[in-house]
Amino acid sequence: MSGRLRVGVLASGRGSNLQALLDACRQPGFPAEVVVVVSDREAAPALARAAAAGVPAVFLNPKDHADRAGYDAALLGCLAGHGVELTCLAGFMRILGPAFVRALSGRLMNVHPSLLPAFPGLAAQRQALEHGVKVAGATVHFVDEGVDTGPIIAQSGVPVLDGDSEASLAARILVEEHRIYPEAVRLFALGRLRVAGRRVTIDTEGGSP
């Protein structure tokens, strides 16, 4: 056993946040490792990234399950089977049911491309542009039963520029996602995150994760 925190990543798409986590875990001394990547889409580039990194890549087909509860239970079984201690959502496009969220409470994180609580849900960058905000950004948060509503672990802002398109703003935000997500995982692995109600604070010294 390496003694590192065992991380499972759920991803449906291109997997750039997964890649940021995989890259961080390759750094000497990083206190976590990705032990499994699960996707609901067989063709997700995220699965290819996992395989390229030598990490088990699992396609769990929603069509093999009668309902969301059945799928979520299969997901939980897969994560438990790999000894996962922290689950990271990284562009996972399925809504997870309350039983799943409760089972992993305090051990389930997500990254979202806005400064929450502004612009939850889909197309956060477009929502920011349409609203006309001058500062956008990224948030890493624990997942609760709402949509993008859980306690905030880390945020980083970026300017919205006059000529921005959805794509240019998304690219600027993504740089921050790739920075703050591995940092949040690192702090969790070191046992330095403390949750009190909605507030997450960072201990200067480690405890147990």
Give catalytic residues, as residue numbers. 112
177 near ligand GRF, judged by CB under 6 A: yes
Under rule CB under 6 A, which residues in 61-90 are in contact with ligand GRF? 90
Nearer to ligand GRF, 16 or 156 (CB): 16
What is the nearest approach in angstroms of ligand GRF to the Cβ of residue 205? Answer: 30
Question: Letter for the amino acid at 171?
Answer: A
What residue is closest to ligand GRF based on CB?
91
Nearer to ligand GRF, 125 or 190 (CB): 125
Under rule CB under 6 A, which residues in 136-175 are in contact with ligand GRF? 174
Residue pair 8/34 in contact by the 8 Å Cβ criterion: yes
Applying CB under 6 A, among 17, 39, 87, 127 the residue interacting with ligand GRF is 17
Q: Phi and psi for 190 in degrees, rounded to 5?
A: -85, 0
> What's the rounded Cα separation, in Å, for the pair 8 and 88?
6
Residue pair 83/8 in contact by the 8 Å Cβ criterion: no
14 near ligand GRF, judged by CB under 6 A: yes
Nearer to ligand GRF, 17 or 31 (CB): 17
What is the nearest approach in angstroms of ligand GRF to the Cβ of residue 18? Answer: 6
Helix (H) or strand (E) holding 32: strand 32-39
Residue pair 17/113 in contact by the 8 Å Cβ criterion: no
Number of residues that bind ligand GRF (CB under 6 A): 13
> What's the rounded Cα separation, in Å, for the pair 35 and 83?
8
Give the per-residue contact string, 100-139, with ligand GRF (x = CB under 6 A; - = no).
Answer: -----------xxx--------------------------
| Cα–Cα nearest to 191, from 178, 202, 179 | 202
| Cα–Cα nearest to 141, from 130, 131, 127, 155 | 155
Helix (H) or strand (E) holding 3: none
Applying CB under 6 A, among 8, 31, 91, 97 the residue interacting with ligand GRF is 91
Residues of the shown chain interacting with ligand GRF in the complex, contacts defined by CB under 6 A: 11, 13-17, 90-91, 111-113, 174, 177
